[in-house]
Amino acid sequence: MTWLITGGAGYIGGHVVKAMLEAGRQVAVFDDLSSGRAERLPEGVPLIRGSVLDRAAVDRALREHGVTGVLHTAAKKQVGESVEQPFHYYRENLQGLQTVLEATAEAGVRRFLFSSSAAVYGMPDVDLVTEATPCAPLSPYGETKLAGEWLVKAAGVAHGISTVSLRYFNVAGAADPALSDDGVLNLVPMVFQRLTAGEAPRVFGADYPTPDGTCVRDYIHVSDIASAHVAAVERLTADPAGETSLTLNIGRGEGVSVREMLDVIGRVTGYDTTGEVGPRRAGDPARVVASAELIRKELGWGARYGVEEMVASAWDGWCARHPGARRAG
């Protein structure tokens, strides 16, 4: 049994590849290397370089590698960019998904996992976000993920494919410095960048209705994201009838504020992370924290790592990629 991992040379996909191999699964990677790196893949993992929009290339990959399940992690993931380039995001994320799903259905492959996002919820006005919390995405990025879930579900029903969509919350950390995130698009790497450039980290708003006034999120270690995929694969493998149709949050169920993250980053890096409070960033919800109950119930999965491990491993990756960077003090 071989699992095709689209986007497997990316930050999250690379961790999924690693966890799948450690679980004894056979994998092949399909990636256009637009943001992925072939060096993320261990030796011996087949890499098919191609676009998810190229139906013939996807058909070939499914056939030539005897694929029996697909993990579709390939996507564009920058919220701000999606606002500026909606056509690009709908094409890559939705048309790309449709192409891979159609190829999957026609090849007779009966297991499919889709990488979704907490961005489907938008500004949830609840303490803990459950999968039943209404979805109201605030960006074309979030829209492509929500519409993607609908398409995955509908294709599963129509073609007898078992499906799981996983809604990632705020991913951070690395299993290995070589697998770490090269993007500087989220809180942790953005703070590292400021600190190592001799600048104070920025806090986007400290007047939110939260205990310390800064935004609260559910940060989750990328290795935990990866182990949730392995648990989902076990579930999909155990269902040859194609009846599984699940949409699950992957979070820790614990809220951490920007200030609390800055404190952890200060302890790990040795820098003064007091931060400079600026205006709110447009579109930021005050609090987005997952309920992790459903995934525990359905897959028996729970997170293992905390924020210290996320920040420490992300810092190791940052230092490996920025040879001048080192612990302060």
Is there binding between residue 178 and ligand WQD (CB under 6 A)?
no
Nearest distance, CB of residue 194 and ligand WQD, angstroms: 7
Among 15, 76, 77, 111, which residue sits at the site for ligand WQD (rule: CB under 6 A)? Answer: 77
Residue 258 in contact with ligand WQD, rule: CB under 6 A: yes
Which CB atom, from 12 or from 57, has the smaller least distance to ligand WQD?
A: 12
Q: Which of 79, 178, 200, 320 binds ligand WQD (CB under 6 A)?
A: 79
DSSP 151: H
Taking the complex as a whole, the smallest distance from the CB of residue 13 to ligand WQD amounts, in Å, to 13
| From 93-101, 198-206, 233-241, 242-250, span contacting ligand WQD (CB under 6 A) | 198-206
Selected from 72, 110, 217, 252, the binder of ligand WQD by CB under 6 A is 217
Q: State how far the Cα of 223 lies from the Cα of 23, in Å rounded to an integer.
A: 13
Establish if 94 lies at the interface with ligand WQD (CB under 6 A).
Answer: no
256 is a contact residue toward ligand WQD (CB under 6 A): no
Q: Does 121 bind ligand WQD (CB under 6 A)?
A: no
* Cβ-Cβ contacts under 8 Å for 150 (sequence gap 6 or more): none
Strand 111-117 versus strand 219-221 pairing type: unpaired
Letter string b/e over residues 168-196, b meaning 16 or more CB atoms within 10 A of that residue's CB? bbbbbbbbeeebbbeeeeebbbebbebbb
| 121 is known as an active-site residue | no
Q: Which is nearer to ligand WQD, 105 or 286 (CB)?
A: 286
Tell which residue, 169, 281, 275, has the closest CA to residue 224: 169
Number of H helices, E strands in the chain: 11, 14
What's the rounded Cα separation, in Å, for the pair 161 and 167?
A: 19
Region 140-169 residues binding ligand WQD, contact defined as CB under 6 A: 168
The answer to whether residue 202 forms part of the interface with ligand WQD (CB under 6 A) is yes
Task: Give, in order, the Cα–Cα distances in Å from 217 to each of 171, 213, 254.
Answer: 10, 13, 8
Q: What number of other Cβ atoms are within 10 A of residue 309's Cβ?
A: 17
- Which segment (27-35, 200-208, 235-243, 244-252) binds ligand WQD by CB under 6 A? 200-208
Catalytic residue among 11, 89, 90, 141: 141
The burial class, CB within 10 Å (0-12 / 13-18 / 19+), for 280 is middle
Pull the structure tokens for residue 170.
């705020």
Give me the least distance between CB of 217 and ligand WQD, in Å please.
5
Residue ranges in 278-297 that form contacts with ligand WQD under rule CB under 6 A: 281, 284
The reply to whether 187 sits near ligand WQD by the rule CB under 6 A is yes
Regarding 11 and contact with ligand WQD (CB under 6 A), the answer is no
CB of 273 to ligand WQD, least distance (A): 11
For CA atoms 142, 218, 221, 227, give the dihedral sign. negative
Phi, psi (rounded to 5 degrees) for 51 = -95, 145
- Judged by the rule CB under 6 A, the positions of this chain that interact with ligand WQD are 77, 79, 117-119, 168, 170, 186-187, 190-191, 202-204, 215, 217, 258, 281, 284
Catalytic residues: 141
